[in-house]
Structure 1
Amino acid sequence: MGGTGQRKPQEEQVRLHAIVHGIVQGVNFRYYTRLRAEALGLSGWVANRSDGTVEVVAEGPRSAAEALLAFLQQGPPAARVDYVETYWERPTGEFRGFRIRYEVD
C-alpha cells in the first residue's frame, strides 16, 4: 500500500475535429474509426459527408486523440487518405460512447 500520496496529474482533455479527404467512403472508414476510437476510450462520432469526405469529432485524453488522428491519417486498408483537416477544440463532454452517424450534411 505504500506510496507517496502524490496523484498523477490528469491528462489534458481535448476535442479532435477532423475532416478526412481521399478515398474514404465505401471502404469501411467509419466502422474502423469507431473501433479505434472505442479502443482508445474516446467519445464522439464519425459520419460520411455529402462532399465525399468523412468527418470525425472525438473527445478524451490528448494522447488518445493524437493516436486516433494518426489512424485517420493512414485509414483502413482499402482507403486512400490524401489529407486530414485537423482542428483542436475545447471538449464539451456532451458525448457518451462513440457512434457512427448516418445522417448526411
Structure 2
Amino acid sequence: MTEGFTTATRAEPAGPVLAFTGELDAATAPTALTAIQALTLHRGEQLVVDLSALEFCDSSGISALLAARNLALAADAVIALVGVPRQLQRSLKLIGLAAFFPAFTTIEDARRGLSEED
C-alpha cells in the first residue's frame, strides 16, 4: 500500500481549494474521492485542485480528478488544476483530457483566470 498520501481542503471566497500530497494511485484514490465527495460547491465558484505536492498519479488518480470535475459541473461551478506535475500534464494530453482541466502555475493565477473569463 502506498503511504504518505494526504488531502487538505480549505474554504476561500471564490471556492474551495483541495490539495493532494504524495502518490495518487489505486491504493489512495478512495481517500481522494472521499475528500472530493465532502466538498460543497456553489454555482459560479471555482474548485482549485492543488497538485503541486503530488509525486505520482496513475489512472485511478485521473479518475478521481474526473470525479472532481463532475462535481464542479453538477454544481454549475468550474475546476482548475494548480501545480500539475509534468508527467501528469503529459498523460492528460496524451489521453485527450488536457482540455477538460484548465491548468495554472499558482492558485492566484487560477483565480485570475476565473475572473478573466467572467
> Do these two structures clear the TM 0.5 threshold for a shared fold by scoring above it?
no
TM-score normalised to structure 1 length: 0.31
TM-score normalised to structure 2 length: 0.29
Q: Which is bigger in relative contact order (C-alpha 8 A, separation at least 6)? A: 1
Higher-helix-fraction structure: 2
